[in-house]
Copies of this chain bind each other. A is one copy, B any other.
Amino acid sequence: MEIKKLKVLIADDEPDILEIISYNLSAEGYLVITAKNGDEAIDRAKKHQPDLIILDVMMPGKNGMEVCNILRLQPAFKNTLIIFLTALSDESSEIKGLETGADDYLTKPISPKVLLSKVNALFRRFSKEESSVLQLGDLQIDREKYIIVHKGEEITLARKEFELLSLLAGKPGKVFLRNEILNSIWGTEVIVGDRTIDVHIRKIRQKLNLDCITTVKGVGYKFEMND
């Protein structure tokens, strides 16, 4: 199976820091995305759905805390890891940062090694295993064998269809944003048109002949069995 690289977004207005961190994280095998200010950070975060966001607190435009606040309000970023970087080694601002919803707080000057081990520690915690067979009502999804069984009958889905269904069914009820879906199934490099997801969804609905994928207009799709 293909291993998905963990994505890290770094936002800092100092190019040097951006480069040092980028270099180190890339070398460690992470996929790095950068942003030069708060607004750019928000844009890129929405676009790429990173697993971790490293935010400089002081940036032109929106500062790190503001960015964090804005992102945390959105369901898609509820679980994204966030680390603050700051030149202030001020106790109260550190507390404020952590209460804003950050997962860690690093004071400049930053040692790349320390940063790396912190990032690794966070991800070590975060990685979770998932079972390969999903049972949802009378629908069975075997992610290992790539087989769907509904009421004893086997249904054949094409790869993309299968991956899409598998993604949605992995968290029943959760709304997956179009961006999330694109990132999970197509990755950030491949760019496909607007209607691609819809068409696949339609095919799944058709083949399953089961009302289990709900559209949330303006947001995305979710899987839900209606028993």
> When chains A and B are docked, how far (Å) is the Cα of A42 from the Cα of B184?
11
Which 7 pairs across A and B sit closest by C-beta, in order of nearness?
Answer: A159-B218, A98-B117, A75-B143, A98-B121, A95-B117, A146-B175, A145-B173
> When chains A and B are docked, how far (Å) is the Cα of A132 from the Cα of B159?
31
Residues 187-214 of chain A: 1 if any B CB is under 8 Å from the residue's CB, otherwise 0? 1100000000000000000000000000
Given contact pairs A78-B144, A146-B175, A159-B219, A98 touches B111 in the complex (Cβ within 8 A): no
Copies in the assembly, this chain: 2
- What are the residues of chain B within 8 A of A39 when measuring CB–CB? 188
Q: A20 within 8 Å of B by Cβ?
A: no
Not counting A42-B187, A78-B132, A98-B118, a sample of 10 additional A-B residue pairs whose C-beta atoms are within 8 angstroms of each other reads A73-B167, A75-B143, A78-B130, A79-B130, A91-B111, A98-B117, A98-B121, A144-B173, A145-B174, A158-B217
A51-81: which residues lie under 8 A (CB-CB) from chain B?
Answer: 70, 73-75, 78-79, 81
A114-128: which residues lie under 8 A (CB-CB) from chain B?
Answer: 114, 117-118, 120-121, 124-126
